[in-house]
């Protein structure tokens, strides 16, 4: 199967601590790197995770709170120093253009490459990126400012040829591309050989959902249903659950309830409040509802 990895660069909330960096992660699909949020220190964490700056394809910013975007200017500048020539596209709410463009004009006026900002509507579930192998959709979230999560979804690939069967029926090489796409093969004497006799099914489609920051919202469940991995914010534990609706955040228990109801395969908790020196308490509260839960941590690599 092709690479589909999640690299956690930062999983803390607004206040950086010695334990956690602000929110940022890299989704590595095939040979492309996609950054999701870019808090302070994101580029340093990329170095620690040994991720190639040259393979960075696009950046997705969930919302315009500093712990999710203060690392942008430093990263953009570094890419210029490294000699990047390809355009860099940032997907975000429209207001990022007004905030970032003056800084680019001042600090990065001599850069060779262009920074393109493509706005999305945080209140809509829509495809905002698509190539031959994947598509990325927005997940409307409930926060104090317009905010969206992101669903990374593989497209179904070709079926796998069974070499012995292809040889047995003397299938010409030029026909293999059509058979892999699901077409039957007709022999020179008119015999129809079903595709499923010549091939095995394509690899299962993998899906990853990123949901941070948000209040508890069952509206996201149909969008994230059945994903292989759900990253969901867990800013608060049960002892502070009264703070969650006021700040438009979620408890670990609520994140687990979303995961269970949506039938996801695995839950990863993140966006931890600085008030908790030990996040295992949050893990325990979540696992009581959804057992297949893990904690995010800096430089964690999760393979799907």
Residue 288, Cβ neighbours under 10 Å: how many?
13
Beta bridge partners of 90: 59, 117
Look at the pTM and tell me if it is higher than 0.85.
yes
What local confidence, expressed as pLDDT, does residue 70 receive?
A: 97
What residues act catalytically? 67
Q: Is the pLDDT of residue 231 over 90?
A: yes
What local confidence, expressed as pLDDT, does residue 17 receive?
A: 87
Domain boundaries for CATH 3.60.15.10 within the chain: 4-157+203-303
Query: For 164-216, how does the pLDDT look when each residue is reduced to its tens digit (9 = 90+)?
Result: 999 999 999 999 999 999 999 999 999 999 999 999 998 899 999 999 999 99
Q: Is the pLDDT of residue 39 over 90?
A: yes
Which residues, in sequence order, are CB contacts of 222 under 8 Å at separation 6+?
none
Query: For 52-107, how does the pLDDT look when each residue is reduced to its tens digit (9 = 90+)?
Result: 999 999 999 999 999 999 999 999 999 999 999 999 999 999 999 999 999 999 99
E strands in the chain: 4-10, 24-29, 32-38, 56-60, 88-92, 115-119, 127-130, 134-140, 148-154, 160-161, 185-186, 192-193, 199-200, 207-211, 229-233, 267-270, 293-295, 301-303
4-157+203-303 is a CATH 3.60.15.10 domain: yes
């Amino acid at each position: 199967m092709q690479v589909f990895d999640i690299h956690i660069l930062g999983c803390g909330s607004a206040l950086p601590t010695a334990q956690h960096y602000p929110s940022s992660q890299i989704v590595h699909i095939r040979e492309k790197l996609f950054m999701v949020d870019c808090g302070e220190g994101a580029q340093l964490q990329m170095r620690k995770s040994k991720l190639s700056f040259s393979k960075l394809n696009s950046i997705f910013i969930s919302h315009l709170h500093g712990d999710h975007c203060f690392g942008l200017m430093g990263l953009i500048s570094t890419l210029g120093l490294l000699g990047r020539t390809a355009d860099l596209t940032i997907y975000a709410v429209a207001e990022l253009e007004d905030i970032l463009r003056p800084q680019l004009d001042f600090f990065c006026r001599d850069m060779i490459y262009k920074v393109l900002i493509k706005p999305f509507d945080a209140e809509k579930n829509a495809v905002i990126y698509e190539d031959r192998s994947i598509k990325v959709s927005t997940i409307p979230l409930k926060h104090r400012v317009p905010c969206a999560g992101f669903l990374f979804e593989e497209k179904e690939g070709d079926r796998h040829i069974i070499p012995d069967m292809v040889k047995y029926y003397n299938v010409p090489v030029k026909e293999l591309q059509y058979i892999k796409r699901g077409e039957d093969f007709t022999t020179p004497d008119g015999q129809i050989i079903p595709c499923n006799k010549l091939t095995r099914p394509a690899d299962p489609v993998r899906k990853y959902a990123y949901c941070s920051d948000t209040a508890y919202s069952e509206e996201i469940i149909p969008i994230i249903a059945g994903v292989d991995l759900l990253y969901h914010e867990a800013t608060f534990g049960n002892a502070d659950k009264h703070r969650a609706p006021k700040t438009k955040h979620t408890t670990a228990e609520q994140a687990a309830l979303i995961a269970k109801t949506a039938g996801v395969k695995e839950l990863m908790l993140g966006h931890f409040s600085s008030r908790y020196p030990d996040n295992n308490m949050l893990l325990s509260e979540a696992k009581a509802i959804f057992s297949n839960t893990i904690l995010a941590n800096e430089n964690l690599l999760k393979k799907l």
